A and B are shown apart, each in its own frame.
Chain A
Amino acid sequence: EDQVTQSPEALRLQEGESSSLNCSYTVSGLRGLFWYRQDPGKGPEFLFTLYSAGEEKEKERLKATLTKKESFLHITAPKPEDSATYLCAVNTGNQFYFGTGTSLTVIP
């Protein structure tokens, strides 16, 4: 069964304290892994797409990496405005499967 699991469910960081969020997946035929950011009361906002193991993408303080079984979203020196829920999703060609997200809180 296709499955996407994100960990941890929640993460509290001090401003400037770097960390990583994990997205592990078991799907038959990965056609892309996507990271989104979701702020309270809003729709998810697209961040990155990764297609193959070894690929990396960066945007400001965020860097996404992909292996054959998981993806990491690294947050370097986070700021309070990085507080949000981060979702990952995998595309199998037929469907997108979303994880339940990691709620990140960055404390000033």
Chain B
Amino acid sequence: NAGVTQTPKFQVLKTGQSMTLQCAQDMNHEYMSWYRQDPGMGLRLIHYSVGAGITDQGEVPNGYNVSRSTTEDFPLRLLSAAPSQTSVYFCASSPGKADYGYTFGSGTRLTVV
């Protein structure tokens, strides 16, 4: 059982470039979310999805897009990378939105230069 798989593990982008962070889970979880983690700040929610075809914004959605075409996959797209998006990104899933602990992926460390 792989759990939550994120790719790539590391990425360097130039300002203005776009890219997609991949996230896949094999636990048939309905709820998936993307967080960013920055030094001195807690994990902050970017976008989340409560099921295939349904997405919503979190606390810090600007500059990011998501889609959920299948239960398994929840990619995060950076439209035009900025240095402020340098961070560690985590994808997480759970059986439901509330009341359950998340299963997190191992993260993608993104640097925008």
A interface list, Cβ under 8 A from B: 4, 31-32, 34, 36, 41-47, 49, 51, 87, 89, 91, 93, 95-101
Contact = CB atoms under 8 A, between A and B. Distances in A.
A47 B103 CA distance: 11
B104 A44 contact: yes
Given A87-B43, A100-B40, A43 B98 contact: no
Interface string B29-56: 0000001000011111100000000000
Contacts of B43: 44, 87, 89, 96, 98
Contacts of B106: 41-43
Interface residues of B, number: 22
B75 interface: no
Nearest to A42: B106
B74 interface: no
Contacts of A99: 42
Interface of chain B: mostly helix, strand, loop or mixed:
loop
Contacts, number: 57
Interface of B: 4, 35, 40-45, 58-59, 90, 92, 98-107
26 contacts: A32-B98, A34-B101, A34-B102, A36-B101, A36-B104, A41-B107, A43-B4, A43-B107, A44-B43, A44-B104, A45-B104, A46-B101, A46-B103, A47-B101, A49-B100, A87-B42, A87-B43, A89-B42, A91-B98, A91-B99, A96-B43, A96-B102, A97-B42, A98-B44, A100-B42, A101-B42
Given A32-B99, A100-B40, 17 more contacts: A34-B101, A34-B102, A36-B104, A41-B106, A43-B92, A43-B105, A44-B43, A45-B104, A46-B102, A47-B101, A49-B99, A89-B43, A91-B98, A95-B58, A96-B45, A98-B43, A98-B44
